[in-house]
């Protein structure tokens, strides 16, 4: 579980996007998005315990290009969120939380799953923990426990972020508050995305 929290707790661009999306969405959409992030972490934990030693050298050469793809995707999402927030503000259509929901639950899940899978450092992190933990090759039970605990840790943290985002959205229901939060979220996402390559 500590390994799962170790990769999930540092709030980067994906976590910031999750909070921003949650603030503009329903609890159902926010929870689905959070579980999309946790599913990617769980999938990478599974890949690490199954083929970590073989994958680490294969992924090393493509980490940098994937990082740039991640940056481009995150900046694009931030720009889309900011532009749509400004347009809704100008049109004066920010009247209710449900009008704000940018997507359905399954779309939020798939989008956050895909965005999180763009970060191959997660599988390298898990592989290093699995391979360097005891020096011995872990057994089947240890692998299952590791993957399950990593997923549950990530899911609990991502759901906490999503719930906080929904709460923030409920508290800041005015037009100006909604505009400020979407613009602030977009700026933070861009800054964090740029930090990924800086």
DSSP H or E run through 42: helix 27-59
| pLDDT value for 36 | 95
| pLDDT value for 185 | 74
| pLDDT value for 70 | 67
Total domains, the chain: 1
Q: What is the mean pLDDT of residues 44-65?
A: 72
Mean pLDDT of the chain: 77
Structure tokens at 24: 């503009």
pTM of the model: 0.68
143-187 tens-digit pLDDT: 888 889 989 999 999 999 999 888 877 776 566 776 777 777 778
Structure tokens at 169: 């959205």
Structure tokens at 17: 């996007």
- Domain boundaries, position 45: 2-197
Distance CA 184, CA 131 (A): 40
95 or 22: which leads in pLDDT: 22
70-92 tens-digit pLDDT: 677 767 777 877 787 788 777 76
Query: If pLDDT is split at 50, 70 and 90, which confidence band does 94 have?
Result: very low
Q: Are 36 and 113 in contact (CB under 8 A)?
A: yes
Distance CA 151, CA 35 (A): 9
Q: What is the mean pLDDT of residues 37-41?
A: 92
Distance CA 21, CA 138 (A): 38
Each residue of 108-143: b (16+ CB within 10 Å) or e? Answer: bbbbbbebbbbbbebbbbbbebbbeeeeeebeeeeb
| pLDDT value for 146 | 84
């Amino acid at each position: 579980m500590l390994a799962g929290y170790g990769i999930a707790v540092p709030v980067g661009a994906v976590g910031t996007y999750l909070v921003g999306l949650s603030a503009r969405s329903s609890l159902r959409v926010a929870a689905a998005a959070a579980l999309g992030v946790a599913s990617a972490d769980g999938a990478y934990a599974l890949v690490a315990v199954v083929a970590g030693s073989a994958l680490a050298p294969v992924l090393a050469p493509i980490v940098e290009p994937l990082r740039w793809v991640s940056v481009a995707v995150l900046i694009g999402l931030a720009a889309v969120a900011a532009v749509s927030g400004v347009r809704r503000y100008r049109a004066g259509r920010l009247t209710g939380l449900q009008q704000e929901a940018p997507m359905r639950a399954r779309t939020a899940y798939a989008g956050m799953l895909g965005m999180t899978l763009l970060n191959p450092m997660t599988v390298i992190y898990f592989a290093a923990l699995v391979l360097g933990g005891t020096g011995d090759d872990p057994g089947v039970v240890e692998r299952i426990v590791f993957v399950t605990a990593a997923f549950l840790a990530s899911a609990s943290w991502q759901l906490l972020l999503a719930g906080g985002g929904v709460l923030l959205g409920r508290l800041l229901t005015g037009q100006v508050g909604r505009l400020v939060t979407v613009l602030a979220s977009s700026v933070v996402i861009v800054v964090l995305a740029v930090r990924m390559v800086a």
